[in-house]
Amino acid sequence: MSEISFKRDASFDKCPSCKAVGKLRRSRAQSVYEQVVKKLGFFNYFRCRDCGWRGSRLSFGFNKASLKTILIYLFLMLTTAVVVKFVLQKIALK
């Protein structure tokens, strides 16, 4: 089974403000809202060492195989929902 997503280290990304590569470092959550967002695990907060930019970056990425797997699961869920709706309508008519 293919892995759906992979955890990535955003500290090697480019800074959105100054475009410097590898200058982002982890930053602590400053408010209750940021703590909740960070606990969910999808975003982490970073600060640029060069320009001082501070913001959140997505901590998960998707590759081609994982997108294919996600699309297959979505197709299966939609197909199942249509079949269940059809069966329930047939039962309701009796």
Q: How many CA atoms lie within 13 A of 94 on its CB side?
A: 4
pLDDT of 5 strictly over 70: no
- Which of the pair, 84 or 20, is modelled with greater confidence? 84
Report how far residue 53's alpha carbon sits from residue 20's, in angstroms, rounded to the nearest whole number.
11
H helix or E strand, kind and range, residue 58:
strand 54-58
pLDDT in tens, 23-76: 888 888 888 988 888 888 778 889 999 999 998 887 776 677 778 888 999 999
More confident residue, 93 or 30: 30
Query: According to the model, what pLDDT value does residue 1 have?
Result: 46
Residue 22 pLDDT grade (very low, low, confident, very high; cuts 50, 70, 90): confident
Q: Where are the domains of the chain?
A: 1-61, 63-94
In this prediction, residue 7 carries a pLDDT of 62
Asked if 4 contacts 66 with a C-beta cutoff of 8 angstroms, the reply is yes
Q: Which residues contact 63 (CB under 8 A, 6 or more apart)?
A: 6
CB 14 within 8 A of CB 23: no
**Predicted local confidence at residue 43, as pLDDT:** 83
Residues forming a β-bridge with 1 = none
